[in-house]
Amino acid sequence: MMTRRRARSWPRSGAADRRTKPFVRGLIGLLLTLVASGCATLKRTDVRLASAKTVGIVSAIGDDFTFTRAGLTAPTEAERHSPVGAWGLDDLITIRMGLLLGGRYQVEGLTYSRAPFATKEAVSPFAVSSAVSKLTSASENRLSDLVRTQVAPQGLDVYVVLTRAASPYGSRSRIVTGVGVIERVAVLGSSGQLHALYTITVIDGHTFKVIGKEQAAALEGDELFRLKGPSREIGAELLSAAQTPAGSDTLKAAVIDLIDRGLPKTLQELQLIDQPKP
């Protein structure tokens, strides 16, 4: 009876209701689709990773250290780049990721040219074009192509690729990428923020489809301005060392510590390693 009464009352409701309900239904449908697509992605990742046995690791956060100034700076001031290839950062990351992944997978050594993976991707200034690029997974396709053509051996179940990520900073939201330091210049002194921003992409070694992608999240630290990725405030000593980073073991240790602290959580998000037991 209740159902019948409701069915009868429906045509008598006002025009606004008749217009609103399809809208609400559409909205709910959209939300359900979003949730379902998220769940579907997770399940796909889970299934493929569950059957995976061999894993290869590519690390290309780059051999470049950026020193950027924000705040009271000259309009012409540009970021400075310093080579830090001597740090062997990518080799260290490969070893650390190998240790983390070794508990579940057989980690195989890879041969590849790092430069193509470390290339900075061009980003369109037009939001629509950028969004379309994301929807068409242009960036993911580029990495998949590189894994297919530049990495040996082929045929592993999964390839895990670590590349530089980006984050906005400063009052006008400029973009900083990878490893470096931001110096914020104020009237009463400066402050420094060390960052190591990276994304991990998981690629199916047989179909070369991207089955997972996660940008390392900000750490639960005390930095005043949060970047979209691991960062921490640094004192005057490290800020000074960042001017000539290649020779500073302290700075190198601080960068490795940042990456180390972010890696387990990012790999957990990608379901590559298990959640730690409480």
Of the candidates 49, 61, 70, 254, which one interacts with another protein according to CB under 8 A? 70
Task: Find the shortest distance in angstroms from Cβ 224 to another protein.
Answer: 6
Q: CA-CA distance, 1 to 276, in Å (whole number)?
A: 53
Yes or no: say if 162 and 59 are a contact pair by the CB < 8 Å rule: yes
Of the candidates 170, 208, 209, 268, which one interacts with another protein according to CB under 8 A? 170
Question: Is residue 198 a contact point for another protein (CB under 8 A)?
Answer: no
Q: Is 99 helix (H, G, I), strand (E, B) or coil?
A: helix
* C-beta closer to another protein: residue 20 or 149: 20
Q: CA-CA distance, 198 to 99, in Å (whole number)?
A: 18
* C-beta closer to another protein: residue 45 or 144: 45
* C-beta closer to another protein: residue 10 or 225: 225
Yes or no: say if 234 and 222 are a contact pair by the CB < 8 Å rule: no
For the record, the structure tokens of 267 come out as 């790999």
* C-beta closer to another protein: residue 133 or 154: 133
Q: CA-CA distance, 184 to 164, in Å (whole number)?
A: 22
Question: Is residue 72 a contact point for another protein (CB under 8 A)?
Answer: yes
Residues 232-261 that bind another protein (CB under 8 A): none
Q: Is 48 helix (H, G, I), strand (E, B) or coil?
A: helix
Question: Is residue 173 a contact point for another protein (CB under 8 A)?
Answer: yes
Of the candidates 3, 9, 51, 171, which one interacts with another protein according to CB under 8 A? 171
Question: Is residue 10 a contact point for another protein (CB under 8 A)?
Answer: no
Task: Find the shortest distance in angstroms from Cβ 12 to another protein.
Answer: 18
Question: Is residue 264 a contact point for another protein (CB under 8 A)?
Answer: no
Question: Is residue 78 a contact point for another protein (CB under 8 A)?
Answer: no
In what order do the strands lie in the sheet containing 158-164?
106-108, 54-60, 158-164, 198-204, 210-215
Alpha carbon 252 to chain centroid distance? Answer: 21
- For CA atoms 58, 59, 64, 68, give the dihedral sign: positive
Q: At what angle do helices 138-150 and 127-135 cross, to 10 degrees?
A: 50
Task: Find the shortest distance in angstroms from Cβ 263 to another protein.
Answer: 16
Q: Which residues bind another protein (CB under 8 A)?
A: 15-16, 19, 34, 38-39, 41-42, 70-75, 123-131, 134, 166-175, 184-189, 191, 214-215, 217-218, 222-229, 269
